[in-house]
Chains A and B, each alone.
Chain A
């Protein structure tokens, strides 16, 4: 019997497979296809202080082996999350993290402190990397000073596990990672989507209403893998890797690069059962290679 459990700081996960925010709704959308309790955890939709309508349609464009999205953090706001959604999902026997986004530091702080009171939410993922909203979001994640400032401010009011999601749209992601670590993050997750663009040559117009959007899917995997490797070497806190993971081999590659756990995002759209297939595949990999614990794979990349 192999051991799939991992620990991201105070978070004890039954396996290293989480779902990426914005690709899994609140988990309930997938209940017809998987037993949510089988997952290591779910990171629910980006939540802001006030409800957001998001960007205008069109919000997506398919690209080779991936997609661009410009949803713009459409969500019901933290108060309705707490009153309407939380009661329905708190029963899940898996770790539920709430992705928290904001336009100002005060937004982040207020939203995080409200979620701090929820018994069955063991952590938040601070989103300082959404490329699809004009104010805030990614703006915080692209400079060391602002990334550290928002992390420090939230750390003061949030006592449970604080994961910070990094933007790949920076010159040196390791530098940002160190700043966020100094700000008091318990773990780092990466990568959020890469800023991209699609043009319709027929109409000579951008495909997305916002002109630019975030690229995800297998197309971004090599970039994500490289950044996870760089960040894992740069910080002491655990790293959660994501970016185009579609199968167990992808997941193992991210763990070898230094990730303690992984998130699956866009692949959920293609196969709503991909999460449980990855868990099963990772288990098989360990058995076939006589590895007792998944933890032996973390950062076990051989570069010699």
Chain B
């Protein structure tokens, strides 16, 4: 079941020059069950030239406080509009959308996030932990400033870091980190979200080592509910909507 609800913005916390975290509270309704990897279509208020919603993955869920968090990278007018919203105002969401990450068959997992792709991996780590699986992270960013909310990830598990300029952690891309340089990886399942080129390299790596790999795509989309057919990706079964068949796919199913 999908819902359309107005949430109250209880905080808008700037993380760095381009990332913000919105904390949204359910008022007058109960949060439905959400799963990691699912996303929301967020309406941008007060931006007169922005018409379509913005698809944003669910960064974290706190059922006790009836709150969800969205980690937003300000890239255009729409996301900048979201970044400037005052606390106390309302935000309209269609959610929870799409197919989630699924539990692994064994406990050895690695969660790999690149850039804003780390967003769904916090909720995923919490979910895995609740199911008795210890999450372990590999997070890549352009530079030290691009690594946001590391403390929240560290609360859940080990966090390994790469930066392109080498300002923190291993210099290079996530694929250059020692945990991925070994011929005998000590994990069996990869969950990843980030730029397509990064995920393609990771998917190949998973293939080579016989690991399972779930990727979350960020295709451009309009409706988010499988009506407009704009967000398709090529799969073994032809074009499939990322919004309804994904955004999480088994990497072996994709022909991207």
Contacts and interface: CB of A to CB of B under 8 A. Distances in A.
Interface of A: 22-25, 29-30, 32-33, 45, 53-54, 56-62, 64-67, 69, 71, 74, 217-218, 266, 268-273
Nearest to A71: B229
Interface string B60-81: 0000000000000000001000
A272 B4 contact: yes
Q: Taking each of B3, B50, B220, B234, which has the highest tally of chain A beta carbons within 10 Å of its own beta carbon?
A: B220
Contacts of A23: 223, 227-228
Given A65-B51, A67-B222, A268-B223, A32 B2 contact: yes
A57 B227 contact: no
Interface of B: 1-4, 43, 48-53, 78, 94, 219-234, 238-239
Contacts of A61: 220
Nearest to A267: B51
B227 A29 contact: yes
B2 A74 contact: no
Contacts of A22: 228-229
Contact of B228 (A65, A69, A273): A69
A54 B239 contact: yes
Nearest to A265: B228
A53 B230 CA distance: 12
A33 B4 contact: yes
A56 B53 CA distance: 22
Nearest to B94: A272
A24 to B, nearest CB: 6
A53 B239 contact: yes
Nearest to A27: B227
Q: Is the interface of A mostly helix, strand, loop or mixed?
A: loop
B232 A57 contact: yes
Given A32-B1, A268-B227, A269-B223, A67 B52 contact: yes
Contact of A269 (B219, B227, B233): B227
6 contacts: A23-B223, A57-B233, A67-B51, A74-B229, A270-B51, A272-B4
Nearest to B226: A29
A268 B220 CA distance: 17
Nearest to B3: A32
Given A57-B233, A62-B51, A24 B227 contact: yes
Given A57-B232, A62-B51, A269-B53, A29 B225 contact: yes
Contact of B51 (A32, A69, A217): A217
A268 B238 CA distance: 26
Contacts of A32: 1-3
A182 B4 CA distance: 45
A66 B51 contact: yes
B232 A30 contact: no
A268 B51 CA distance: 11
A59 B230 CA distance: 5
A53 B226 CA distance: 15
B230 A71 contact: yes
Contacts of A271: 4, 43
Contacts of B234: 56-57
B1 A30 contact: no
A24 B226 CA distance: 9
Contacts of B1: 32
B88 to A, nearest CB: 23
B52 A269 contact: yes
Contacts of B231: 57, 59-60
Contacts of A268: 223, 227
